[in-house]
């Protein structure tokens, strides 16, 4: 049996057509179902649907053999024990630094020092700025990062953007690009050895489906 952990939310919507192309169809509609474990048209494959940020943990401990995880989540995850096998080329977006319009007009990123940044991505933000020798006070949030600069919680945010509509609606502009993000196929290291043959066959199908 092989378990694939899928991220709820945006990644799920794009994961299902990809899996269908790989010959794996859940027996129930995962978007509406409340079930967390669902059988598929493939007798040896089950799907687990969990929070995006929990996918690396399930795969790391072998509760899932494979997982679909956002690169943002993988960058933030501090455990190893995962193989990043394949860029699934879905749920594409960018991790960026943004700040209020009026602030951006007279801001120069080359002169940044001691930044106060609100974000869900504390580790990634600290790593990014530490590498450039810029000190940061990072404030951890769990959502709606765009609000923070509007009410004086922070000067800037680090967040994901796709179209930039949410930024614009809140008077923010992108001032620095940190990383291009997409969902990746990850594998448990032990599964990759112990279940080598079936896993490899399944990964190959997914690879074909990505093309």
| Contacts with ligand ATP, residue ranges (CB under 6 A) | 7, 9-11, 51-53, 70, 72-73, 91-93, 160, 162, 181
Task: Compute the least distance from the CB of residue 175 to ligand ATP, in Å.
Answer: 18
Label residue 114 left, alpha or beta by phi (over 0 means left) and psi (-120 to 50 means alpha): left
Which residue number, 72 or 155, has a Cβ lying nearer to ligand ATP? 72
Q: Which long-range contacts (CB under 8 A, 24 or more apart) does 163-172 make?
A: 167/98, 170/146, 171/100, 171/101, 171/102, 172/98, 172/99, 172/100, 172/101, 172/146
Which residue number, 178 or 199, has a Cβ lying nearer to ligand ATP? 178
DSSP 40: B
Q: What is the C-alpha to C-alpha distance for residues 176 and 158, in angstroms, rounded to an integer?
A: 9
Structure tokens at 52: 């995006």
Which residue number, 4 or 93, has a Cβ lying nearer to ligand ATP? 93
Task: Compute the least distance from the CB of residue 142 to ligand ATP, in Å.
Answer: 6
Which residue number, 52 or 199, has a Cβ lying nearer to ligand ATP? 52
Task: Compute the least distance from the CB of residue 210 to ligand ATP, in Å.
Answer: 16
Task: Compute the least distance from the CB of residue 88 to ligand ATP, in Å.
Answer: 11
Which residue number, 148 or 160, has a Cβ lying nearer to ligand ATP? 160
Best CA proximity match to 99, nearest among 168, 178, 175: 175
Task: Compute the least distance from the CB of residue 59 to ligand ATP, in Å.
Answer: 15
Structure tokens at 12: 């799920």
Q: What is the C-alpha to C-alpha distance for residues 204 and 167, in angstroms, rounded to an integer?
A: 38
């Amino acid at each position: 049996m092989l378990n694939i952990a899928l991220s709820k939310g945006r990644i799920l919507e794009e994961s299902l057509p990809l899996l269908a192309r790989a010959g794996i169809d859940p027996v129930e509609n995962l978007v509406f179902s409340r079930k967390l474990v669902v059988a598929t048209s493939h007798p040896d494959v089950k799907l687990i649907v969990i929070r995006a940020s929990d996918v690396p943990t399930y795969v790391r401990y072998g509760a899932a053999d494979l997982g679909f995880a956002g690169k943002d989540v993988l960058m933030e995850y501090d455990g190893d024990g995962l193989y990043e096998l394949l860029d699934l080329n879905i749920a594409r977006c960018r991790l960026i630094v943004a700040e209020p319009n009026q602030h951006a007009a007279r801001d120069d990123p080359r002169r940044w020092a001691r930044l106060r940044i609100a974000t869900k991505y504390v580790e990634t933000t600290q790593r990014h700025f530490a590498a450039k020798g810029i000190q940061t006070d990072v404030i951890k949030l769990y959502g709606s990062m765009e609000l923070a600069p509007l009410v004086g919680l922070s000067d800037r945010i680090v967040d994901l953007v796709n179209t930039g509509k949410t930024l614009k609606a809140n008077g923010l502009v992108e001032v620095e690009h940190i990383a291009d993000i997409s969902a990746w196929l990850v594998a448990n290291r032990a599964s990759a050895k112990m279940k080598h043959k079936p896993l490899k066959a399944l990964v190959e199908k997914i690879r074909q489906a990505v093309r």
